[in-house]
Amino acid sequence: MTSILIAIFAALALFAASALLLLLFSGKTSATESRLAALQSRSRAGYDATAPPPSDYQMQDMLALVTRPLAPFRDWLRSNDEELSFRLSVAGYRKPEDADTFLSVKLLAPIVGVMLATFGGMQNFLIYAIFFAVAGFFVPDLWLFYAIAKRKEKIGKALPDALDLLVICMEAGLGIDQAVIRIASEIELIHPALSEELIIIGREQRAGKPRLDAWRSMADRVDLDTIRQFVAMLVQTERLGTPIARALSTFADGLRTKRMMLAEEQAAKTTIKLIFPLAIFIFPALFVVVLGPAILTMMKMFESFG
């Protein structure tokens, strides 16, 4: 009876985990599909640009259906909701239900790990089950760290191009606020992460938030040193009355120089990194090819003498 209950519970957990993964991956569409859907929606009468598409509501309902039974268990992991929400927001997940989804996956991942150890046919089942359960518990955190680092890298790489476009728009006669909104729409397909942050800045300013406070909020959301330096530069230009276009151009050139120096540093490290594959894989093969015939010849000579 106990084995039957364990099997039923494991099957339900596997179904819930599969449903969560399916919902997370099926909800993502390509940039072209998102752009076409947005254009089709805007062409309809009475369309609200701020409202999410109906597919988002359907996904939210399905996620709630899967994660609702795990609500009592999620309370055990809610040690610091603010820190988790901040980490998810830095990774680009700012919906209210994203924290529940993350905690649900963190609860189901150890069960999936135990099931892998169960159906793997391993001899030391208990050791492997504990190992996979602990690894499954920490896998969502590792994925979150990776997502945060990846999003920061994308925003850091997209910032110089966005600053160039900002300088062009301002030299054409647009103010910095209007230029930010225009750039956010232009780079949406190429740099969606930075476009999202710029759209949030535009909405905050439209709601009455001061410009510098909106940019400081972006620096706190992104948690990137380059953005903080950019905000500090904007504060200095606002206080000293320096032309913003010239300061933006200089700052963009500095970012490109820093990126070039980083690329040169990575290129210089390749010579040291090549030592290990050369010593482990290439040199032994060369020794076999070069010294192999000589060794075989010497062995035949010794046999003939013997």
Q: What is the pLDDT of residue 145?
A: 92
Going by C-beta distance under 8 Å and a sequence separation of 6 or more, which residues neighbour residue 162? 183, 187, 191, 194, 198
Domain ranges of the chain: 2-30+53-152, 154-269
Q: CB of 144 within 8 A of CB of 158?
A: no
Q: Is the dihedral of CA 288, 291, 295, 297 positive or negative?
A: positive
Q: Per-residue confidence at 136, pLDDT binned at 50, 70, 90?
A: confident
Q: What is the pLDDT of residue 295?
A: 84
Residue 289: helix, strand or coil by DSSP?
helix
Please write the tens of the pLDDT for every residue from 219-277.
888 888 888 888 888 888 878 877 888 888 888 888 888 888 888 888 888 888 888 88
Q: What is the pLDDT of residue 150?
A: 92
Checking 3-7 for CB contacts under 8 A at 24+ apart, the result is none
| One-character DSSP codes across 24-70 | HHHT---HHHHHHHHHHHHTSTT--TTSPPHHHHHHHHHHHHHHGGG
Going by C-beta distance under 8 Å and a sequence separation of 6 or more, which residues neighbour residue 230? 159, 163, 215, 219, 251
Q: CB of 230 within 8 A of CB of 166?
A: no
pTM comes to 0.68
* Pairwise CA distance, residues 226 & 256, whole Å: 12
Q: CB of 88 within 8 A of CB of 144?
A: yes
Judged by average pLDDT, the poorest of 51-65, 127-141, 150-164, 287-301 is: 51-65
Q: Per-residue confidence at 48, pLDDT binned at 50, 70, 90?
A: very low
Q: CB of 87 within 8 A of CB of 144?
A: yes
Please write the tens of the pLDDT for every residue from 152-201.
989 988 888 888 888 888 888 888 888 888 898 888 888 888 999 999 99
* Pairwise CA distance, residues 71 & 103, whole Å: 9
Q: CB of 116 within 8 A of CB of 134?
A: no
Q: What is the pLDDT of residue 25?
A: 43
| One-character DSSP codes across 146-196 | HHHHHHHHHHHHHHHHHHHHHHHHHHTT--HHHHHHHHHHHSTTT-HHHHH
